[in-house]
A and B are shown apart, each in its own frame.
Chain A
Amino acid sequence: MADLVQTLLTALAIGSLYALIALGYTMVYGILKFINFAHSDIVVLGAWISYALAIKLLPMLGLNPHDAETAPPLWVGAAILLAAMLLCGLLGFAIERFAYKPLRRAPRLNVLITAIGVSLLLQNVGQLNYVFGASPQKMPALLPNIDLLRLSLPGGDGYREVVIGLVDVMIFSTSAVLMLVLEYLVYRTKLGTAMRAVSFSTDNASLMGIPVDRVVSFTFVLGSMLAAAAGFLYVMKYPGVNQPAHSIWVLLGLKAFVAAVIGGIGNVRGAVLGGFVIAFVEQFGAFYISSNYRDVYVFALLIIILLVRPTGLLGSPVREKV
């Protein structure tokens, strides 16, 4: 029982991270019909910008960034989160403006290759010594290291503790707030209506007077901001920040991409659902079957979904027009 609850809690926290990242993939796909491979690198930059800001900011407040026991007031973390989101939003804007916009009329394959190029560029520039360096760093603690709840539940031959950390709750609630804001933006505002119109048909949307370029830029900014938030929350939970070109980041991006596909790529609610689904499969598989095949469960699920429901859980079947 205790183990079940603990695994469930971990899956919820990790699932919300996957969902945040998957949203970026799915929104860009919905509008431009291409997979933005550089998206996971925005997550990485979000993580590293948070680290760089924290390392600079904490000493100014008279705190030792290497001391894991003391944490700054809550607003510091919030400020760093906002700053990372803004910077990554700008970066997302710039990437779209300079790398993808010139290719708006080019074949989709060209854009895809460009995305891989942008991804490599971001990874390797990030690893330069005067940017972030090629060594892992430790993220300073921004939240007090406290457990909100320690429950004793029956498990095994006695009682075992279930720990709910402040970090997990913050991850879940921050992601939930961001996703609700996005939901509101996409389904309740004029801009969101424009986004959905562009995703339905770019040509028709522009005939109706919708500024397509602005909508596309906005989508990139939005996706990048969510990715930055995911990067920030990720290093809050896992303070060992891996170097920008570490393969683990690629895997994180890949899993989020799988989440988007499983949920039905192009579908905003589907991305969130997909994120939680793969987190549950991954965590429960790792605990109850074997941790050796953690990634296998995720990708096996992808294959099954693609066989059974090729459009994903919430995706609507596409009818080819003749």
Chain B
Amino acid sequence: MHSRPSVSGHRFAGIGSFLPLLLLLALFGITLPGCPSNSSNSNEIVIGHFGSMSGSEATFGQSTDNGIKLAIEEVNAAGGINGKKVRLITYDDKGDAREAGTVVTRLVTSDKVTAVLGEVASGLSLAGAPICQENSVPMISPSSTNPKVTKIGDMIFRVCFIDPFQGSVCAKFARGDDLIASRAATLTDQASPYSVGLEEEFEKAFVALGGKMTTKQTYQAGDQDFSAQLTAIRSSGPDVIFIPGYYTDVGNIALQARKLGIKTPMLGGDGWDSSKLGEIAGKALDGCFYSNHYSPEDPNPRVQDYIKKYQAKYNATPDGLAALGYDAARILFEGMKRSKSLAGADIAAELAKTKDFDGVTGKISIDKDRNAVKPAVMLEMRNGKPKFVSTIQPDK
């Protein structure tokens, strides 16, 4: 991959007019995408995946990519989609919204992909979705839970539940027999749509169930010092601390909370789902809970069969994101098989009809808002590993 020179048109511009641009480039660390080698082949279908393959949420992108690749391998081994093989192009957005916009534009306009899969983080899906919508390319987010993502337009789908459900699951669990919490504090990543949205839904449900909020604190992704927030949380005396963040930050928060002598159980959402969480936090998170899309301990043969295949290929246990990546890709392929052409609108129309798809993460039906309706599971951290606690069904 090589980069194009950034400005070629300003032939007569003096050095002075380059300066602001240079500074901008320096400040934002923008890297321009290289020239793609575009080989269109009528015997294959190209789909794109944008994910955080590196950065603070690296396992999100890597797991999802593994799941998608497994699904592609299977569909190609079974003869492809109506005789055409599927080829995947994956771009790393480094967990950065600007980068996500750049790589999705590249997938859609220069690689001319038939459909796009991604992202995990809602903030990044929100950056990519408008580009797919404008260009009439269907996009399926495997695991962005913020409701706004699919509201971008009729080309945008997801195969996971949304935050109003996840928030109420967490609130019910906090009020329930496991935690019996009546006072909750929250610690939110103020720049993340996922975190802010989930906090709102949790708070709404928790208060509706008779709970009381003690304090609401915020941080910014990548922050290293949480002592001011944690000291404030400690003073407010909560029974549970709700932290709807991503795993790297959550791990660091947990370590510091325990250092400050906070023994209050912590609770979170699917952003905790990573093998890195236990690596970072160690035992600091023992006795804490999070909601997720599936548990590898689910005895269902469909789940166990998937885990076996995944382990054979990657020598690792798939996390929820790997399972959702797999499901998203398979739902896309089913939609493509049924679709009368490979035009974006035709595929989207078929995707909207998905009903009772037998996925690893449960039965998936796409509702009229292009969201999936399905159950959630609660997991407990024990010795740095997530263990299955219960399954919570959606309200009918």
Contact = CB atoms under 8 A, between A and B. Distances in A.
What's the interface size class on A, roughly? 35 or more
Contacts of B261: 150, 161, 163
A10 interface: yes
Nearest to A113: B22
Contact of A163 (B218, B229, B259): B259
A10 B222 contact: no
B91 to A, nearest CB: 14
B179 interface: no
Interface string B186-222: 0000100000000000000000000000000111001
Contacts of B40: none
A120 B251 contact: no
Contacts of A247: 222
Contact of A243 (B23, B56, B232): B56
A66 interface: yes
Interface in B247-272: 248, 251-252, 255, 259-261
B282 interface: yes
Nearest to A238: B224
A134 B58 contact: yes
B227 interface: yes
Nearest to A249: B222
A248 B235 CA distance: 27
A133 to B, nearest CB: 7
A292 B190 contact: yes
A3 B280 contact: no
B110 interface: no
A239 interface: yes
B298 interface: no
A58 to B, nearest CB: 15
A240 B251 contact: yes
Contacts of B1: none
B54 A243 contact: yes
A224 B232 CA distance: 36
Given A286-B228, A287-B231, A245 B56 contact: no
A240 B224 contact: yes
Contacts of B255: 239
Given A135-B55, A138-B279, A234-B224, A291 B235 contact: no
5 contacts: A6-B231, A234-B224, A242-B222, A248-B222, A292-B218
Given A68-B282, A124-B29, A245-B29, 4 more contacts: A127-B54, A134-B54, A242-B56, A242-B224
